[in-house]
């Protein structure tokens, strides 16, 4: 039925939903953003597990420093596994929710060789400082909702077409919740999950760009897959 509505009608409908179902009690200035992220939250709540391919570009002083490619696997109770493709093509990291340590297997074909590191260790943080327990969609959704309610978003920057929604989020940084940054977020309307996150400083220097592809939702992932 929505397909028969014009763009103006759809936009008005989004505003009505935002005002009636998700009243903004915080600092978000555009209710369409809140509607979109609530839809993402609802989608994620129905997900028991997922897998996806991730490309990340890290920057230093505005220049590209390094690229990472990996497969991310998630299962409820915050079971996380990361299998690197580059620049560490045989390395895997395993994490179980609530644990203060993660297990690193440098060579997936040598299962007996493994190490335990604190999740705060720089050895297993990303180049931008992100911990393994901050890598799943649940953490990302909480991060967006928290900053929509606490940080003044200023002038709205929202774009939508048939396939995607894109908006700009002002937020305290993803890692330490201290410095203000900007996050340009793209949400797929096929999956209602994020597919691109561009993190920048307030003076518009890139910090990291994350592209997420090939979501496999509710794939069967046995518990033993997350045990190193």
Which DSSP symbol is given to 116? E
Question: What global pTM score does this model have?
Answer: 0.84
Angle CA 54–76–177, to nearest 5: 60
**Number of C-beta neighbours around residue 110 at 10 A:** 10
The matching CATH number, chosen from 1.10.1760.20, 2.60.40.1930, 3.30.450.30, 2.50.20.10, for 1-228 is 2.50.20.10
Tell me the pLDDT of the chain (228 aa) as tens digits: 434 344 444 444 444 444 444 444 444 468 999 999 999 999 999 999 999 999 999 999 889 999 999 999 999 999 999 999 999 999 999 999 999 999 999 999 999 999 999 999 999 999 988 999 999 999 999 999 999 999 999 888 999 999 999 999 999 988 888 889 999 999 999 999 999 999 999 999 999 999 999 999 999 999 999 999
From 32, 64, 38, select the one nearest 165 (Cα to Cα): 32
**What is the model's pLDDT at position 18?**
45
**Number of C-beta neighbours around residue 1 at 10 A:** 4
Question: How far, in Å, are 49, 50, 105 from residue 219 at the CA level?
Answer: 6, 6, 23
Order of strands across the sheet with 49-60? 115-118, 101-105, 92-96, 79-86, 63-75, 49-60, 206-217, 193-201, 180-188, 164-172, 158-160
Q: Which residue has the tokens 């561009």?
A: 198
């Amino acid at each position: 039925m929505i397909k028969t509505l014009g763009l103006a009608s759809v936009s008005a409908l989004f505003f009505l939903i935002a005002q009636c179902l998700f009243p903004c009690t915080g600092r978000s200035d555009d209710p369409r953003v809140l509607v979109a992220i609530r839809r993402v939250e609802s989608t994620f709540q129905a997900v028991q597990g997922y897998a996806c391919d991730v490309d990340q570009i890290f920057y230093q002083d505005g220049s590209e420093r390094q690229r990472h490619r990996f497969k991310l696997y998630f299962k409820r109770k915050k079971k996380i596994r990361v299998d690197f493709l580059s620049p560490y093509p045989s390395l895997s990291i395993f994490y179980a929710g609530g644990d203060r340590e993660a297990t690193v297997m440098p060579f997936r074909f040598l299962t007996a060789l493994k190490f335990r590191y604190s999740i705060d260790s720089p050895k297993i943080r990303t180049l931008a400082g992100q911990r393994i327990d901050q890598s799943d969609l649940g953490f990302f959704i909480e991060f967006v909702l928290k900053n929509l309610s606490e940080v003044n978003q200023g002038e709205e920057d929202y774009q939508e077409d048939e396939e995607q929604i894109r908006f700009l989020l002002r937020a305290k940084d993803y890692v330490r919740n201290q410095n203000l940054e900007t996050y340009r977020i793209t949400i797929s309307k096929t999956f209602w999950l994020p597919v691109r996150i561009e993190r920048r400083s307030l003076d518009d220097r890139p910090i990291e760009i994350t592209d997420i592809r090939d979501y496999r939702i509710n794939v069967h992932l046995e518990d033993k897959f997350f045990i190193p």
